[in-house]
Amino acid sequence: MLSGRVYGREMGVEEVMAVVRRDAAYYRASGGGLTISGGEPTFQADFCVALLRAAKVEGLHTCLDTSGCFSSAVRERVRPWTDLFLFDWKSTGAELLRELTGVSDAPIRENLERLLEAGAAVWLRCPLVPTLNDQQEHLRAIAEFSRRFPGIERVDIRPYHRSGAGKWRDLGMEPISDAIAEPDEASRDSWAARLKAAGARGVCRD
C-alpha cells in the first residue's frame, strides 16, 4: 500500500538556481553543471524547460536524463537548452518494449533520431536484463545506432539490479527481481564485448 508520505519539497526555478549557484564556480572549472532527472522530468515540461533555460543563461552546462517518452513539441522546447541528453534505450523491438513498459517505441525512437539529426549530444543508456532484453539482436541494434549517429558519444550498459524491489512493493506490485538474477561480471563483460564487436563506440559499463 502507498504510504501517502511526500518526500522532498516543492521548489521554484529560482529556488533551485539559488542552490545551483553555490557550486557554479566548481561546475565551470570542472566541466560539470546541472542535470535534471526523475522519474521522467519532461512530465513537468514547463518547469523543466524554465530550469534548463535559467542554467544556460548563466553559462552552465545542462543535461537531461530522460526515457525519451515525450511529445515532439516538448522535444523542440527542451532541445535548445540542453547540452547533453542521457537517453534510455530499453528495447529495440516494439512488442517487447510495450510488454515491459506499457508504451510504444515509436515516439521514443522518433525523438532520439530527431535529436541526433539536429546535432544533439547523447549518451545512450541501455538497461540490460538477463533473458529479457540482452539478446544479440538488441545489442546489434544499439551498435548500429552508435555507428549511424556521431552524436552518440557513449553507450552506457546499465546492468539490472534489485534495488528497486521496495519501490514496486510500495506501489502494491510484485517485483520481478526475485525471478531474475543480477548479472555477474562475466555477463557484463560479455555484453560490452559483443557491443564493441558489433561496432558500438564509447562503450562503458558499471
Domain boundaries, the chain: 83-205
What letters, b where the CB count within 10 A reaches 16 and e where it falls short, cover 58-72? eebbbbbbbbbbbee
pLDDT tens digits, residue range 180-189? 888 899 999 9
Work out the number of other CB atoms within 10 angstroms of the CB of residue 51. 23
Place of cell 557554479: 24
pLDDT surpassing 90 at residue 93:
no
Provide the mean pLDDT of the chain: 91
Return the CATH class of domain 83-205: alpha beta
Phi-psi group of 60: left, alpha or beta (phi > 0 → left; psi -120 to 50 → alpha; rest → beta): beta
End-to-end CA distance of the chain: 32
Global confidence as pTM? 0.89
pLDDT surpassing 80 at residue 132:
yes
Least confident piece of the model among 48-57, 117-126, 145-154, 167-176: 167-176
- Structure confidence at residue 3 (pLDDT): 58
Q: Which residue has the higher pLDDT, 123 or 106?
A: 123
